[in-house]
Amino acid sequence: MALVQRIPLSSSSVRNWQLARTNLSPVCCLHYNTASSSSPFTEKHSVERYQRDQWLYKAVEPTPPSNPSPSPFEDEVFVRENDIATQLPELKKLLAVLREKRVKGCKGGDCGPGDVYLVGTGPGDPELLTLKAVRVIQSADLLLYDRLVSNDVLELVAPDARLLYVGKTAGYHSRTQEEIHELLLSFAEAGATVVRLKGGDPLVFGRGGEEMDFLQQQGIRVQVIPGITAASGIAAELGIPLTHRGVATSVRFLTGHSRKGGTDPLFVAENAADPDTTLVVYMGLGTLPSLAQKLMDHGLPSDTPAVAVERGTTPLQRTALGILCRFLLSLKILQLRFSQLDWCHQRSSS
């Protein structure tokens, strides 16, 4: 972890950090950030995030930025780089404590590294966690968690464990994937039990395979604990079968955005336009209108039933139902109201 030059916090980050530091009442009683209070997940600059991660900011004395009106891009750069720089001292302290604990508990002088668990937390409802996932979450030394790990799931973490937010949203990555790899490796080498919490299933559009491959190449043992992926959890919640005799003989999972971003819904539209297949699109908010149009252009009937779900299986679930053609038109108007598109289900109208 390279030391990053300290940069002043943005005004919004200062405000949320101060609120988190001085108001340690239960999360459900906080009303400082309307965006976070309306979300079941950890939003990037929410009070809940800074409360959970407050152990990382013990030595911080935040000051307003020198530029009173930074651009949105500059503001996010300030927050990200300052977060990394200010977290570094406490991360180093924790590494030292864990190494010392490992040496004291080591017998025979040959201490192996700790284990890393890639844990799927499902679409949000904590009752959908596996028993094994709960056991591992409650026994971890350090948990690196994503944005789409729900607040209810994070309530299961043991009081003496340490949480570190590594979530990503469009335009803001609190940590790059490479930085996440190095954090996992550093703490595993110190002998810690490290849990990587991911929404849904770690190996379904969760980049769990990349993390597993990197760690195994470094000699770290990795265990994957599956979670209920959004398609299965939300389909069950809505009572919509992903396969159905005489209607849908197969199911296909697609990512709604390309590796390098952009608005093109990938090359898959042509061979995905199969009326006998249930099509599930993850992370498809920005590209769904274009994807729907391409599917119809390639022969999928315009009256194919479709549904979009936001924050599925949580108390704040929202659903939009319709046929593909009308759904496309309404989405062009309403797409900005959807912050997280979990999936789009479509099947033959026969």
Residue numbers annotated as active site: 146, 168, 283
**CA dist., res. 161 & res. 154, Å (int):** 11
Phi-psi region of 330 (alpha: psi -120 to 50; beta: other; left: phi over 0): alpha
As beta bridge partners, residue 118 has 196, 224
Rounded CA gap, 305 and 173, in Å? 35
Between the alpha carbon of residue 200 and those of residues 93, 234, 273, the distances in Å are 32, 11, 25
Q: What are phi and psi of 341, to 5 degrees?
A: -90, 115
Q: Which residues contact 38 (CB under 8 A, 6 or more apart)?
A: 316
Distance from the first to the final alpha carbon of the chain: 57
Q: How many residues does the chain have?
A: 350
Check the CA dihedral 170-176-181-187 and report its sign.
negative
Q: Please list the alpha-helical segments (H only) found in 148-287.
A: 151-154, 177-189, 208-217, 230-238, 269-272
Cα(88)–Cα(62) distance, rounded to whole angstroms?
15
Query: Using the 8-state DSSP alphabet, how is residue 171 labeled?
Result: T
Phi and psi at 272, nearest 5°, equal: -90, -10
